[in-house]
Structure 1
């Protein structure tokens, strides 16, 4: 029993979805176990938990940069390069945030939580603006990598100078009081920017790889959840702060899935999406042209220089009864009438840039010859002729019509000659018959003369019968073409018009 095509497609889609969810289910289980281990580290010290959580996001940020930077020469989607460079400096700021976190004892400034929180809010502002700008960079084709590096580097250096040297960056955390108004408002502004970026992503959805789109949206949503959690804590080791870091791990996990994993496992689909879409459009156009070629009655043919058939459209089966597969790979001379070979060969040898047209006889599958009208143009590559392409039209019926016209014209000429001959012969014949009849009335004729005159008279009567038949034929022909109709040469009529 043959399964319907729709049923097969449904089964394939179900299998594809099943494989997709199986793959990502294992990944999510791995993520859950990693989060569990990171969470367990807080029972040793909150500082260890914070460091592990931040290191994960920093590694993902640097990995994102590595993938996009090393594939920049091949990227069709320039927003990926922008994203990668941005995440390099987001990772640098997050690293500084980790090293200055209270209790790290690496820098003197680490004795308070303000600098670390300032770096955190700076990185999140940069991240939200980057996510917001990506949909706006979809059609940008001229992003300069080193210019982007310079801009982000200058911005990062400016932030470090503001926080560590001039210390004029707004306070974000005050010991004993908790988060400042600026920090809380900033978190809400960041959430607004991220939410608005989701709206922009949906407006430009068709420009993104579907899996990439899904992962980026999930990453933004978990980033929003993380930022909202960071508006609630009073002390840095509270549960809301811990929950915010867990949501950040999940958010960066989806960045990893969207950029690093897709870039390594499916680089063609991910890095060359525009090229892939162009190829799909080209393939669709090719299919449309192929369907058009297959639907027309004339056969499209492509030949090598030596006459080998490279391609011939299925229309050839309609008049030669060969399938394209039966003709491809053979020389066209195998199908040509011997009487047309020399003529066609000489024309082909002279052909350089102009088209070649002619009428030839081609053998069909049963051995009969069909008249075809062929039109060829040379294929030129590097100033050298490498083959031909053209169109073949079956004109066998047209040829039969032409033969019928010629035969009819010949018949008409004969009829006209017969009518004229009957008219011209009839008068002298009447005179001969009349004078012979008068002579036979004489009684003084000797037997020999009478015998000869009787033969002349009888012969004239026979000729008269023939003339009457010719006149009848002429009259019949005239009646067959009433109202002045005449046989027309279709070729001459077409040329004159």
Structure 2
């Protein structure tokens, strides 16, 4: 069962063969309405298109060699470089063109033509038959290009210089000679053999590009047959042959050049997707590592805080109680004075231990929840820094998961510390908004602010404070935004889904 692409190819080939037959049947009618005065410009345009295709294939193979190092693609590009160069000389030396004109112009242009077709047929056959590819070095590439250029120049020189020694291919008014017909048939046989090989390859791998190339060679084969029929270089058969050749090169362009050109963009897109995937995996790993570090840090803080509170704090409390008992025994005044001094030092040490334990992990966060922990921290903060903090709640108060409460508390704690260090503010607003699907934390100061663009571009924009706040928010699939205006203040907004 043929697929759509195969059916379409069959239709194109049938139409091409039908067009060839139709032009033979209606040859006299077509010739009667054909105006040869437009032939030269038509011939030039058709040939320039073929030359464009040839050089496109060459430049693609040349420019992409540094990535592919493919001997097969380089060989194909050099084949079409030779074909395009010979066809260019054929176009420039054609009868009526202002280049290379002489008494033998017709023979020169025809020999350029037949040479290009021989290189084309043999080269395409070689490319199709030699499927094995291998990597070659830059030096060997340059050697191949140099040899190809020398051979092309040698052929051009030989045709221009010694054309008179070559067999006559066309006689004006009489048409092509037997020599040209035989050469065209040889070229046709080579193309036919190439067609058979391409078709067998397609049956094995079902590569659509092979079928497109197959179609191109069908048109070129028809063109070669037409070129055995014309009697004058300006007659309708010559024009029809060039039309079939242009159609053939159009399909060669689609079957050879376009897939390779498209492969570059596909490889680039694939590499970009792989890069994005690698970045996402890296971010995921970074997130996991950061999460593990923060979790371990929080667990260690909890352990140390509990140890300070239950261990060191309790010991200091026992010492303080013992000192009070000793002081009540009514011993010497100097001893009482020293005991009182020790009592004050112990009391201060207990306050410091409590403060450290609170900073590490406030018991209120675990026992009473986020709102109470924030309120208690604000009281200590105002007492320590003399900065007034207004606390606002919106929505229903509730307990969140331990992870959300811990990370929001740490973000709140870090934001207040930053404000005390850098903002030079007298007032801070802490706002907690409890939405249906998220909780929002806002910390707004009325300090000196900063230029957010300069901050983003500066070396220190990933300072540990703001960076850790962003990381904590991202760990909970949330967002953290910073808005700041110089001499107005700064706003930090955190939204965490619940």
TM over 0.5, shorter chain: no
TM-score, normalised on structure 2?
Answer: 0.45
Larger C-alpha radius of gyration, 1 or 2?
1
TM-score, normalised on structure 1?
Answer: 0.45
